Amino acid sequence: MSSNKTVVLVTGSSKGGIGFSLCEEFASRGCTVYATARRLEAMEGFSQPNIHTLSLDVTSDESVQKAVETIIEREGRIDVLINNAGLGNTGAIIDVPMDEIVRMFDTNVYAVIRMAKAVIPHMAARKSGTIVNVGSIAGEIPVPWGGIYGATKAALHSLTETLYMECKPLDINVVLLAPGGVKSNIANNQAPRFKLPENSLYSAYIDSMLAKLTMSQRGNSMPAEQFSQQVVSAVLKPQPPRYMTLASMSGMYKVLKWLPRTWVLNMFWRRLGEGPRLAALKNRK
Ligand SMILES: NC(=O)c1ccc[n+]([C@@H]2O[C@H](COP(=O)([O-])OP(=O)(O)OC[C@H]3O[C@@H](n4cnc5c(N)ncnc54)[C@H](OP(=O)(O)O)[C@@H]3O)[C@@H](O)[C@H]2O)c1
């Protein structure tokens, strides 16, 4: 069994993503870190010896159980769980294949319940622990072409708020992290899965969809290292915040949440639906 260093489990820690950077940051603060992802080779390149890699597919009960048991056997506990693994997507709701929708809900929502079922009993036994669920500003206000992703994150936000309450008697902290744009592989990872069906009712909006695909990765999106420094500082506090939002567009969303919903949805449709389509038409003339 290891020392009394904080033991952190991070899901979705492939190189180039937010999870990888969070692992590096927790390790730099002296934590014992379990970086996990579906493929061990996707996590090559960590710079610190206190980061251990384990394979964990968050959509598999067996894989989750095995990884959690391995850490409990080695360390005796998990102090911090970061539910970071996630799948993005772009496309009109009725154009996304059903199997892709099911896979996204499994990865972004059911997986967090699966992880909670496996980890909470261990935290409850010690009456301490922190669970951080990585949601998104897209879970707060949906945008065109991001309907499935937004729905998964909205469901995750709701689950996290209930977990926050239900974990009170167990002395477990629950943090909802709602990032704005952070530099990662999220756009590269979803690009190969984007396909406009031949008979789509939205063919005229292909330029708008392509613009949405890379929206979180544009100019002022936050470097993952800077994001991780702020998140890890908050999570390691004796009393972590219940809710945290940061990175590009998060300030704008704070304001938009207070404005009339109909105005906000119409504004997003003009900017992300019609706007890029009309601009592309103009350029082609
Ligand atoms: N980047 C942003 O601007 C942004 C904004 C808001 C919220 N977020 C959220 O932040 C989290 C991290 O995303 P990211 O931006 O770092 O994207 P990313 O680079 O695409 O990383 C996603 C990670 O999730 C992993 N993953 C996917 N399916 C998995 C599964 N079944 N089991 C285990 N791991 C799985 C991926 O592993 P593979 O390498 O195996 O695919 C990868 O490590 C996600 O929850 C995302 O929704 C990101």
The one catalytic residue among 5, 66, 127, 149? 149
CATH number for 201: 3.40.50.720
The answer to the question of residue 117 being in a domain is yes
The answer to the question of residue 250 being in a domain is yes
Cα 257 to middle of ligand 1, angstroms: 25
What pTM was computed for the model? 0.97
The predicted structure's pLDDT at residue 1: 47
The answer to the question of residue 2 being in a domain is no
The answer to the question of residue 1 being in a domain is no
The answer to the question of residue 158 being in a domain is yes
Cα 17 to middle of ligand 1, angstroms: 7
Can you list the residues of the chain whose pLDDT is less than 70? 1-3
How many structural domains are present in the chain?
A: 1
The answer to the question of residue 274 being in a domain is yes
- What is the atom index within ligand 1 of the atom nearest the CA of 182? 3
The answer to the question of residue 147 being in a domain is yes
The predicted structure's pLDDT at residue 148: 98
Domain that holds residue 246: 7-284
For every residue of the chain, which 3-state class applies, written as one string?
Answer: CCCCCCEEEECCCCCCCHHHHHHHHHHHCCCEEEEEECCHHHHCCCCCCCEEEEECCCCCHHHHHHHHHHHHHHHCCCCEEEECCCCCCCECHHHCCHHHHHHHHHHHHHHHHHHHHHHHHHHHHHCCCEEEEECCHHHCCCCCCEHHHHHHHHHHHHHHHHHHHHCHHHCCEEEEEEECEECCCHHHHHHHHCCCCCCCCCHHHHHHHHHHHCHHHCCCCECHHHHHHHHHHHHCCCCCCCEEEECECHHHHHHHCCCCHHHHHHHHHHHHHHHHHHHHHHHHC
Cα 282 to middle of ligand 1, angstroms: 35
Tens digit of each residue's pLDDT (9 = 90 or more) over 95-128: 999 999 999 999 999 999 999 999 999 999 999 9
The predicted structure's pLDDT at residue 2: 52
The answer to the question of residue 164 being in a domain is yes
Whether residue 153 lies in the annotated active site: yes
Tens digit of each residue's pLDDT (9 = 90 or more) over 144-188: 999 999 999 999 999 999 999 999 999 999 999 999 999 999 999
Best of 100, 143, 189, 193 for a ligand 1 pocket test (most atoms within 8 Å of beta carbon)? 189
